[in-house]
Amino acid sequence: MSPIIHTHQLRVRYGETDQMGVVYHTNYLNWFEVGRTELIRHAGLTYRQLEEKGMLLPLTDASLSYKKPAKYDDVVEIRTTVAEISPLRLTFAYEIYRLPEEELLVTGKTMHVFTSTDLKPIRLPRSEPEVYQWLESQHRGEE
């Protein structure tokens, strides 16, 4: 089965572009964060609630591949999946499309580790079984 794809749309704001009206490259990483935040929110959780449970997801690696530029006032869709999951690490994959053309603009991945609030690694599912089970079901393609 394929991972479940979570989608979130936004309109490119002027402040996200350079003088040519093209989205500045670092904004795609911000949009990746929007995608994973909304994916977790879909579970009925927020990052704040994860933190209150004593769990953080610090970023350890990021990769992006630029295909075409997004431009001012474009509507883009961020598609986020749980690409890999283990008791120690979590990898999200992203695709950003321009709508309504469904034109692929950027692909990428971010890797995170599960840590306590003092940044010590923790193992899931032992510490948060329901969070781990939900993320794993997203990876397996089960809603």
Contact 136, 85 (CB under 8 A): yes
pLDDT tens-place string over residues 29-82: 999 999 999 999 988 888 899 899 899 999 999 999 999 999 999 999 999 999
Give the per-residue pLDDT at 115.
95
18 annotated active-site: yes
Mean pLDDT for the chain?
A: 94
- Is this model's pTM higher than 0.85 or not? yes
Question: How many Å apart are CA 54 and CA 50, to the nearest integer?
Answer: 7
Give the per-residue pLDDT at 117.
92
Question: How many Å apart are CA 108 and CA 34, to the nearest integer?
Answer: 14
Give the per-residue pLDDT at 129.
85
Phi, psi of 115 (to 5 degrees): -135, 165
Which of 18, 61, 73, 118 is flagged as catalytic? 18
Give the per-residue pLDDT at 82.
96
Domains assigned to the chain? 6-140 (3.10.129.10)
Would the pLDDT of 86 be above 90? yes
Give the per-residue pLDDT at 69.
97
Contact 64, 108 (CB under 8 A): yes
Residue 3: CB atoms within 10 Å: 19
